[in-house]
Chain A
């Protein structure tokens, strides 16, 4: 398939535009989806191309807006509800956890909710307590919901199209910094199955299971450690729920070492889920207990020096790998890491 290099942001926009062209039941709505900023460009052109009935901004009523989407999806439409921050999605938890997730179960399979929710997650630029989280573990905890966190433009487009065509509620959590990343993306529509992990980088010494942005950090860490002869395998689950754990288990059985680098808090989180499955399935192959990397166990501080400590990064992964493999500390003073902290000049 013909492919070219485009940004993650463009891949989101392309997936939505192509699906809206294919299926006129698809519509996009949410706070400010139709304003002049168009959700950092991801909803650009939709009002112009499809009209105000298929792309419209809503009152600041996240809870009922999501209920509106469930009702519309149960009766023939395919809504895409966009939240510029995952924290706003927390206002809809009742609709997601009490209503949407049990609509199909409670109607004995008669109703479905083909609803897509897109929420921006993670680090921006001094975003503080309420514009900084990921929350995938909260959503993945709920039967009836699916959760995806694609980390490359290619996966983004294929998984987004699958999400729109899926007859269930799919929560798509997209990291703010990933919107700037670029990669090969076929122009024509394609799908990537929801529920398939991907080996992002092959290796033999250690497995790093990484979610969302932290795949970029893991890639940097792998490059640094490769110079020391350490071969890191990186697994991106891409789908948090339903989780394809077999790809992870196969990798850990091969390497005997496992670090789970999750873009979230550790406590009762997705990292704990992966660690439990790995310990259960790879017990005899593990040379060390699986270990976990994630957010500091605090609200996210605003000031840059503390914010830098809150979020895990490539250095965190390198240090954890050294510890697990019994290596000396690598001198990182000349390493240049992939960072977007300074790309932001504010305000958002």
Chain B
């Protein structure tokens, strides 16, 4: 178990520090791609994806730094893609908003809200028909629950009892609009209970171990049909960009300070230290920081795609 706890911490620390590095480097304008930062949601990506493990086929959104690193731990490819280099998993064509690496389980991420949800359903159908051992999981924000594609997909997944995990990463905000000014109903989870999900769980916390365990217990229900997890977190930074925006009047910094008391990385570190793993934590942190430095150095040194790359990959068979 200590290995698991340390592993969970390591992945969250990697995500947090990789993004901290982005915050430092972004003003140099070498990463020319709009950043939608994951800071605050690390426990969700790491908890869910560690629980599913190598079978996970992940479908996500433009806010997928955490998901990408949690699933792949491919920090070199991650930075190369952000720097627009040919060594990135998308050869630089995808950037931050479309991070994907199908060979390592991140299938695709979309910057039009809710639109990757139906793809996860199709992949779940494939898994069922082909009888493979993939587990399809789709991440989306609470903003996606305003979209038609969300409701269509919930209906189809429950109608056809598809083996897919819906993960609503609920930060209470769609861009700058709170759920309160967007919803004509009281409670999403209550509505989801009217659908034929096999398992529904709502969790309003930041404990990665708890999210890991919720996900673990949900997996067995996939044999019968879909699973819905609603996991709350707080978005630390602005909708797009690497800065705070507490002066913008749509939210109060005190909200952040409340959530920060239970920052997922902070509490996991505390747990590990209390359990006597101070040394291990330090080693992991050093290892991660070295990984990030190497990744950034490699990304900066890597070449941009050659001009002929522009036309490659539009059609298969060309």
Contact = CB atoms under 8 A, between A and B. Distances in A.
A340 interface: no
A204 to B, nearest CB: 35
B108 A67 contact: no
B129 interface: yes
Contact of A71 (B91, B123, B155): B123
A65 B123 contact: no
B149 A106 contact: no
A72 B159 CA distance: 17
Interface string B100-115: 1111000110101001
A79 B118 CA distance: 14
B130 A107 contact: no
Contact of A61 (B103, B122, B155): B155
A139 to B, nearest CB: 14
A68 interface: yes
A324 interface: no
Chain B contact-residue range equals 35 or more
A27 B125 CA distance: 11
Contact of B152 (A59, A71, A74, A75): A59
Interface stretch (B21-29, B218-226, B310-318): B310-318
Contacts of B173: none
Contacts of A111: 100, 102, 107-108
A61 B94 CA distance: 28
Contacts of A95: 115, 118
A107 B121 contact: no
Interface string A42-75: 0000000000010000110101111111111111
3 smallest beta-carbon distances between A and B, as pairs: A71-B122, A67-B118, A71-B119
Interface of A: 27, 53, 58-59, 61, 63-77, 79, 94-95, 98-99, 102-112, 143-144, 146, 166-168
Interface of B: 57, 59, 89-91, 93-94, 98, 100-103, 107-108, 110, 112, 115-127, 129-130, 132, 134, 148-149, 152-153, 155-156, 159, 312-317
15 contacts: A61-B153, A68-B121, A68-B122, A71-B121, A74-B108, A74-B119, A75-B123, A76-B130, A94-B115, A105-B93, A106-B100, A107-B100, A107-B102, A109-B313, A168-B317
